[in-house]
Chains A and B, each alone.
Chain A
Amino acid sequence: MNRTRRRYGPSLNWQLIIPVSAGVLVASGLGLAACFAVAVIGDDGGEAAFGITAAAALPVGGLGLLSARRLRSMPLIIRDGFAAVTAAWLTAAIVGAVPFLIAGTFDRPVEAFFESMSGFTTTGATLIDDVDAEPDAVLLWRSLLQWLGGVGIVVLVVAIAPATGLASQRVFYAETSGITADRLTPRIADTAKIIWGIYLTLTALALMSYWVAGMSAWDAVNHSLTTLATGGFSTHTASLAAFDSLAIELVAIVFMAAGGVNFAFYWRAVRGGSLWPEAAEIRLYFLILVASIAAVTASLVLADDVSGVWNSLRASAFTVTSLITTTGFTTDDYDLWGDYARWHLLVLMFIGGCAGSTAGGMKVTRIMLLGKAAAQEIARQLRPKAVQVLRTRGRVYGEDVRLGVLGFFYIYMTVAIAGTFAMTAAGLDFDSALSSVAATLNVVGPGLGAVGGIENYAAVPEGGLLVLSALMLIGRLEVFTVLVLLTRVFWRPRGA
């Protein structure tokens, strides 16, 4: 009998992982080069750090991209997209960490990695005690990290890389947030271009608005990058409190809120198509925003946490917008507010912005569908034969979405609880542990207690920083992209 042995491929598809990571390297390399230029011009340090890293990243990335040609004809399976995106993000975080080490911002690699991951995932949690003292190049690099991670660095690669068909599609869906990734155009590369185009436009608008509102050009550049990314890194230790300007706060509120809106909505608004598909989510998003501002303001006034109604409203409007959009800019130390306000803010972090925006959290769509699914489940007890449909005015969701949303909620909460266990084990008190998990999993940045708004993450031990870094990545990639790596099927050889 003639037995032929089947040949299995490796479980990871390096032919996709390498070009996608290489694309990320090139994108980061361009940012590094910009920082190098700033370092040379500003002459306050960092030339070596950014020069060396850019000089290494650009050619390596360029070489890696050469292999993208072969992607066109390659068979790709679902897990390839997950693997490539997770690998690309890890690559980005590692490359992003290198200049921090060389420039001497941090001594320990874990700290640099945390800062870099916090940047790319648009979290905005920092370990730097005195931000103002850092060289301009380092500050710009932090802003650029967030901006690149905002709508997704892989989306950027898809947008600018030579079209690679199915490969683009696999990685695009693995990175974008939301329940059903919206394809705005027949070709995914065009969708990615549109998303980045909207992002660039909004960033430019924010830049001009900040400048008009009284920021220096330098601050305006940095803050516009981190505002639209809903990131939250600032050029000042005191964050936006350093400006103490109502106009600047208003600009920040508007653009943070804009960053939390589904980008597909802007596209439809510009194109003149039906706005209904996203309308229900956006309406609920603004409803939560306004209601939360009102509730928090009321609690501040009643508890007399902030002096005066006007100051309460101003502080509450800014903080609520900053936290629900998972940006993390601060003007007030909300950790000093009453328990109601603090709890309300913590819950807002978990809700987050709209799907398909730059914000983190569970996303308003999921909250909305969870509510509908709960109501239907209760109604189903009385009418078991009724056919229930999850719907909004402009959209009908399949039953897979119902299961997907319920599963997502369950897994998200499990991750949050497990994370809190880990952080309390690392020695944090309960408030700090819970809020550090909420602030990183939802990619917000500041939490409560030891990691509160005016504090930083320096109090967290190294092991804790690694846990939080993992949570940031899990949260940014919406759980599944990372967690499938923990399954047995994922590591099974190809063809098995």
Chain B
Amino acid sequence: MRVIVIGLGEVGQNIARTLSAERHDVTIVDRDEARVAALEGELDALVLAGNGASPKFLREIEAGEADLLCAVTQSDEVNVIAALAARQLGAKQTVARVRDDDYFGGEESFSRDMLGIDFVIHPERATAEDLAEAVMLPGAVHVEHFAEGRLSVAETVLTDRSPLIGRPLRERTMVRPHSVVGIIREGRTLAAEPGQRPKKGDHLLIAAAREDIGAVVAYAAGQAIEVHNVVVFGAGRIGLPLARRLEATGGFTVTVIENDAARARQVAELLRSTTVLHEDGMGKDALLAHGVDSADAFIACAGDDRSNLLTSLHAKQIGAAFCLAVVSREDFVPLVDALGIDAAFSPRLVTAETILQSVRGENVEAMHLLLGGGEVLEVQADAGCRADGRSVEQVDSLTWAHVAGIVRNGKVLMPEAHERIEAGDRVVLFSPRRGVAEVGRTFNAA
């Protein structure tokens, strides 16, 4: 596949690295010549200096021949123009990252219907959505829904009261149908084997029908905190949509803390029932003064990774029950576990999810990347594909992945090893590693 990436930021580099590791031809473009020079030798990709929004330049690099163009520069406008121009030149698929809600806010389908951009990614808004889901499902730090929300995969943190601890997984006694598909231990993702014994602090990946997931997670976690009182640190591109979402859901007492006075006022005007506080320094005293010690959930989503990690650490120490932090930089992710923060979220992953989904082929309906490596994705089985008629066990070995669940005619099945895949099934797969390259060949017909 020929892929062009516009923008050599954190996200662009990450995409380029992932795609070139999956053996795609990647051309990556940035206006900043110094940055281009610095990265030229680092990536197995063609790194070029130039204006990605210029049709002339795009023609020069034959953007019209590309299978996919990802526009992920800092500027929304450049991204949209680049995607449009590439589309005009004949690129097969285009993806633009847009961070400002003013352009494609809410439910507007402006992008696809009027402009013809295939995907518009809102990384911050999607991250806010992920955070809200984690707050709303007690015991879980991530929840991802597949097959029109019928099947859910949740990442559950095992507390010391969890009944699963210390015993082999096969001996668990949960009645509702579910499957334990993976374990994240010390930041590393592993496949779940029947003989494995979970430890306290492990994150378990559990799949179940959406109506069962709450009960399953609560059982596995052992002690699920019902979240009512939420403190959000940072009212930026993530904090604001998060607070809005929690307001819209209802049942939460939300406090937002922001260190910029003008932004605090702007956000206070946009929110209704949320308390917005303006606080310059976020030391322990300030956190105590704002009642973070009695918060059920503390969510650090300011623009700066360091202050997110630091304030989360403070919050955890003074007694916040559940701490989530947004961490954009990859090299900070291992710190999250070490600091005792319950989970980290990254807008970068959201962008990569969308782009990888379109690289993997038409059958991939949804995709979720795990921060510690590994991914969960949903595919549809074509009639006559290699998976059609084969058992779950056989599909596992064909794809080097694990079938976590099947949705057949709208009904959720928790797969037994001998269950056979039928054409039209929605299959949710889990892989402990990045890159399920065999998926397309297994589920696409011919």
- Chain A residues close to B by CB (< 8 Å): 383, 385-389, 391, 396, 399
Contacts and interface: CB of A to CB of B under 8 A. Distances in A.
Interface stretch (B264-272, B302-310, B396-404): B264-272
12 contacts: A383-B277, A385-B279, A385-B289, A386-B275, A386-B276, A387-B268, A387-B276, A389-B269, A389-B276, A391-B269, A391-B272, A399-B265
Smallest CB-CB A-B distances: 4 pairs: A387-B268, A387-B276, A396-B269, A389-B268
Contact of A385 (B267, B269, B272, B277): B277
A385 B290 contact: yes
Interface string B302-323: 0000000000000000000000
Contact of B265 (A383, A385, A389, A391): A389
B278 interface: yes
Contacts of A399: 265
Interface in B90-113: none
Contacts of B264: 387
Contacts of B267: 387
Contacts of A389: 265, 268-269, 276
A385 B278 contact: yes
B239 to A, nearest CB: 13
A412 B267 CA distance: 33
B272 to A, nearest CB: 8
B409 to A, nearest CB: 44
A381 B443 CA distance: 64
Contacts of A391: 269, 272
Nearest to B286: A385
A76 B350 CA distance: 54
B275 A383 contact: yes
Given A386-B276, A387-B268, 4 more contacts: A385-B277, A385-B279, A385-B289, A391-B269
Interface in B112-127: none
A375 to B, nearest CB: 14
Interface in B175-219: none
Nearest to B267: A387
A396 B267 CA distance: 12
Nearest to B257: A385
Interface of B: 258, 264-265, 267-269, 272, 275-279, 289-290
Q: SS class of chain B's interface: helix, strand, loop or mixed?
A: mixed
Contacts of B258: 387
Contacts of B276: 386-387, 389
A133 to B, nearest CB: 59
A3 B30 CA distance: 58
Nearest to B258: A387
Nearest to B276: A387
Contacts of B290: 385
Among A385, A387, A391, A399, the most chain B Cβ lie within 10 Å of the Cβ of A387
A387 B265 contact: yes
Contacts of A383: 275, 277
A385 B264 CA distance: 10
A388 B271 CA distance: 11
A396 B278 CA distance: 19
Contacts of A396: 269
A386 B265 contact: no
A399 B290 CA distance: 24
B277 to A, nearest CB: 5
A290 B88 CA distance: 64
Among B267, B268, B289, the most chain A Cβ lie within 10 Å of the Cβ of B268
A388 B279 contact: no
A358 B267 CA distance: 36
A387 B290 CA distance: 13
A383 B278 CA distance: 10
A122 to B, nearest CB: 36
Contacts of B275: 383, 386
Nearest to B265: A387
A85 B277 CA distance: 43
A276 to B, nearest CB: 13
Nearest to B269: A396
A257 to B, nearest CB: 30
B352 to A, nearest CB: 35
A389 B289 CA distance: 21
A278 B272 CA distance: 18
A389 B290 CA distance: 19
A395 to B, nearest CB: 10
Contacts of B269: 389, 391, 396
B240 to A, nearest CB: 13
Contacts of A388: 268
Contacts of B272: 391
Contacts of A385: 277-279, 289-290
A112 to B, nearest CB: 51
A376 B242 CA distance: 25
A382 to B, nearest CB: 11
A386 B271 CA distance: 13
A386 B268 CA distance: 9
B249 to A, nearest CB: 19
A387 B272 CA distance: 12
A441 B267 CA distance: 39
A387 B267 CA distance: 9
A387 B256 CA distance: 10
A392 to B, nearest CB: 11
Contacts of B289: 385
A383 B255 CA distance: 12
Nearest to B268: A387
Nearest to A393: B272
B291 to A, nearest CB: 10
Nearest to A379: B275
B243 to A, nearest CB: 13
